[in-house]
Amino acid sequence: MLYQDDVLIVVNKPSGLSAHRGLANEGGDYVLTRVRDMLQQQVYLVHRLDRATSGAICLVRAPSHVEPMQRAFQDAQVDKRYLALTRGKIPAEITVDYAIPRSQERPKERVHARTSFRSLAVFEDRYALVEASPETGRYHQIRRHLSHLRCPIIGDTNYGDRKENRLFRERFGLFRLVLHAWRFSFPHPVHGERIDIRAPLLPDLALPLAAMGFPVDPKSGELEV
């Protein structure tokens, strides 16, 4: 649990866990059901993370608070920062404004998408730890934009490099997509005060990144940048 009050709950989702039931039946084990069972009350998702992505995800205790939170996302009042490990180095700062497919089901229908990237650190002069700030919320936006830059995310089985993914599995035991919803800031739906969340890296990311020499505390998962 990263944050909770009588309105909101924010948790640190592990990679490989879906936010809610989708096309695949995972035996009822989702973020939604885990939080519901932990709190012994019904809860409601206000946004989603891809199954392979870890990090901060927000829920609310009452359905009346879903719409105000979703409106904050739509009105760009929510600041989201992700961490990614890429094959290839990006410039110190770069913004990608590149239309991408609306969904997997409608690949020919493209929609506006914009993401700002910042390079945080470099490994072996070939890989980069990157902060991504999506200004729009499109399907696989960060993954697609980094692939567009020819700097795909390590562990990405859709848009990445199979050879590099295998290399990082063998060298560092890294068996997941290296994409983490790291920082999350938004106005509280009731009193309007800004809530700032920082989601530590979970061990399946913290340990491999620390082994690469990135400034990550392998115990706490905190990144010092």
**Apex 203 CA angle, 186 and 30, nearest 5:** 60
Q: Cα(164)–Cα(180) distance, rounded to whole angstroms?
A: 19
Catalytic residue among 5, 6, 29, 50: 50
3-state secondary structure of 38: helix
Query: What contacts 41, CB < 8 A, 6 or more positions away?
Result: 61
CA distances from 161 to 86, 164, 199 (A): 10, 5, 27
Active site residue 50: yes
Q: So which residues are the catalytic ones?
A: 50
